Amino acid sequence: MTDLGGLPDYLAIRHTELSAGHLVAEMDARKELLTPFGSLHGGCLSAFVDHCLGVVFYPVIPTGAWVATTEFKLNLIKPVLTGICQATAQVLALAKRSGVARIDVVNNDRLVCAAQGTVTIVLPKT
């Protein structure tokens, strides 16, 4: 997927798999996203996780509905220095107006971030 707009575009997030309740996305650890200490800024990983948290629900919610992040928690496990971050998002629970998903991010075959979040599902007005 290309031309996502806004921050996802700036981060150059790519969707490589998207199906009902499942998303795999990638983001490069580019030089301009690194801290002065040479690691990927935690805010970039946080934005990547938040993006994946929302997108994973679109194949399983009604057409015209949209999601808003209610909350998420992430554990930054290891620093990212170079390469590609790959996020795998999976819907854990889905109700009419809310959902929960888990997102794991790996880099160079290492788990670097584990996250879980909740979204509010906003149904279209009828």
| Residues 73-114 pLDDT 10s | 999 999 999 999 999 999 999 999 999 999 999 999 999 999
32 phi and psi, to 5 degrees? -70, -10
The one-letter amino acid at 19: S
Q: How confident is the model at residue 2 (pLDDT cuts 50, 70, 90)?
A: low
Q: What is the homologous superfamily of the domain 6-122 according to CATH?
A: Hotdog Thioesterase (3.10.129.10)
Rounded CA separation 101/53 (Å): 6
List 75's β-bridge partners, or say none. 114
Rounded CA separation 67/23 (Å): 15
- Write out the two tokens for 9: 């575009």
Phi-psi region of 83 (alpha: psi -120 to 50; beta: other; left: phi over 0): left
